[in-house]
Amino acid sequence: MSRSRDIKENNALDTRRILEGDRTLWIIYAVLIVVSILVVYSSTAKMAYDITSHLTTTESLRQQIMYILVMSLPLIFIAHKINYNFYRYITRIGYWLFICLTILTYFIGATTNGAARWLPIGPIQFQPSEGLKIFTVLMLARCMERRQDVITKIKLLPTSLKLRSTEQKRILRENTIPILGPIILSCIVIAPAHISSAVIVAMVSVIMLYIGRVPKWEIFKFCSIACIAAVVGFALLSLVGIGRGGVAGDRLTTWITEWTTNGEKSRVNDLSDTERAMIAIHEGGFMGEGAGHSSSRAVIIHPESDYAFAFFTSEYGFIAAIVLMLLYLWITFRAIEICRRCPTAFLTFMTAGLGLLITCQAMVHILVQVNFLPETGQTLPFISRGGSSLMFMSIALGMILSVSRIPEKKK
């Protein structure tokens, strides 16, 4: 009797907890939010000397805090309280909704730097492509769940060019279109405005296929064909001047130039954005220049968003930067740990995919700062200034936290 009473009391305490789920993920989230406030406030100090800026440092900080209080905190709280099974039911609706909204941005979306990414809704603007990333993960998780009995022998692509044969039609109908269709469609819809986001979606999807035990040869064939198609599509976009093909081409050329030429004697104004970011990282050293004392914030382009990691390193140093990278990797490690107690394949793939989505975006952002990748414009999750990325990354983490509420199996 006493044991059953203790169990009931513990269950009652669990239901009264405000924040449920994995405590480590909550701590990581809290740390990243604090870093976000510090980075945005300190990096936007240069706005005081920029006569073209419409925001002061105080207004920028107030805006970021409002994003956190009004969007991030409520959304992650609601997402982690929702029953995890609910996400399976809304997968198809959510996916097609964000496909339509992302396409809609090309017609009525707000354009910045030649890219129509933001959809205006009243006084706010958001990027539907950020939501599409999440629902692509969910869509792939749902498709793989239904094929777990045959997943190790599945054929992702037709084995012959005779597509009218019964066998090839079956492969297309049962495997290619349901599994690869959402990935390809999402990448095609996202790519015209944000090529790097399409690459992240493809990268996370391929890792999910591997986790889902799809044969390695099938994954290799898909990746090979996808890379060839991407190169051809990229070339066509550049030639006809549609979407971001021209901008991406210029960034790729700049990246190659940075690796093949010596820019030591170049003036600061002649340096690329990435070169300025690398200077900032170098000046940070091991311990950093100190909060609010970065000597590079005046020359880094967008230190509060696209180059947030470089600015953070310049102020807090290499050691703090390593800790920050480990926090993002930790999100995926915790997601994998949570996967081990998931009762269904869908929840396993969803949790792993969303963890990878957050970490992969962070790693792409960081690799750009050290010139391992061309400039992408990817934000640093939970830290970079802005609303769309913060909003949808908070939802993604909240969904992982919802799954983490599943009790551990007793040994």
What's the whole-number average pLDDT of the chain? 82
Buried b (16+ CB within 10 A) or exposed e, 297-320: bebbebbbbbbbbbbbbbbbbeeb
Q: Examine the pLDDT at 15 and tell me if it is beyond 90.
A: no
CA proximity to 48, closest of 213, 292, 268, 410: 292
As a whole number of angstroms, the distance between CA 374 and CA 125 comes to 27
- Quickly state the pLDDT bin for 7 (edges 50, 70, 90): very low
CA proximity to 144, closest of 80, 206, 66, 53: 206
As a whole number of angstroms, the distance between CA 397 and CA 137 comes to 13
Q: Examine the pLDDT at 344 and tell me if it is beyond 70.
A: yes
What is the arithmetic mean of pLDDT over 160-180? 83
pLDDT digits (tens, 9 = 90+) for 359-397: 999 999 999 888 888 877 788 999 988 778 899 999 999
Task: Note the pLDDT of residue 91.
Answer: 95
What is the arithmetic mean of pLDDT over 45-69? 69
Q: Bigger pLDDT: 260 or 175?
A: 175
Buried b (16+ CB within 10 A) or exposed e, 4-43: eeeeeeeeeeeeeeeebbbeebbebbeebbebbebbbbbb
Number of H helices, E strands in the chain: 16, 3
Q: Examine the pLDDT at 29 and tell me if it is beyond 90.
A: yes
pLDDT digits (tens, 9 = 90+) for 223-258: 999 889 888 877 776 666 555 555 666 677 766 776
pLDDT digits (tens, 9 = 90+) for 270-303: 677 777 888 888 888 888 777 777 777 667 777 7
Task: Note the pLDDT of residue 384.
Answer: 87
As a whole number of angstroms, the distance between CA 62 and CA 379 comes to 19
As a whole number of angstroms, the distance between CA 368 and CA 304 comes to 15
Q: What is the DSSP letter of 32?
A: H
Q: Examine the pLDDT at 3 and tell me if it is beyond 60.
A: no
Q: Examine the pLDDT at 118 and tell me if it is beyond 70.
A: yes
Task: Note the pLDDT of residue 116.
Answer: 54
- Quickly state the pLDDT bin for 6 (edges 50, 70, 90): very low
Q: Examine the pLDDT at 358 and tell me if it is beyond 90.
A: yes
CB 223 within 8 A of CB 206: yes
What is the arithmetic mean of pLDDT over 109-132? 71
Return the structure tokens found at 137. 């993960």
As a whole number of angstroms, the distance between CA 200 and CA 133 comes to 9
As a whole number of angstroms, the distance between CA 353 and CA 209 comes to 10
Of the chain, the percentage scoring pLDDT greater than 70 comes to 80
Residue 236 Ramachandran class (φ > 0 left, ψ -120 to 50 alpha, else beta): alpha
pLDDT digits (tens, 9 = 90+) for 91-105: 999 999 999 999 988
CB 343 within 8 A of CB 410: no
Task: Note the pLDDT of residue 345.
Answer: 92
pLDDT digits (tens, 9 = 90+) for 175-219: 889 999 999 999 999 988 788 889 999 999 999 999 999 999 999
Question: Among positive and negative, which fits the CA dihedral 106, 107, 110, 111?
Answer: positive
As a whole number of angstroms, the distance between CA 379 and CA 359 comes to 12
Q: Examine the pLDDT at 353 and tell me if it is beyond 80.
A: yes
What is the arithmetic mean of pLDDT over 30-41? 90
Place of tokens 């990243």: 32
Lowest mean pLDDT among 45-49, 123-127, 148-152: 45-49
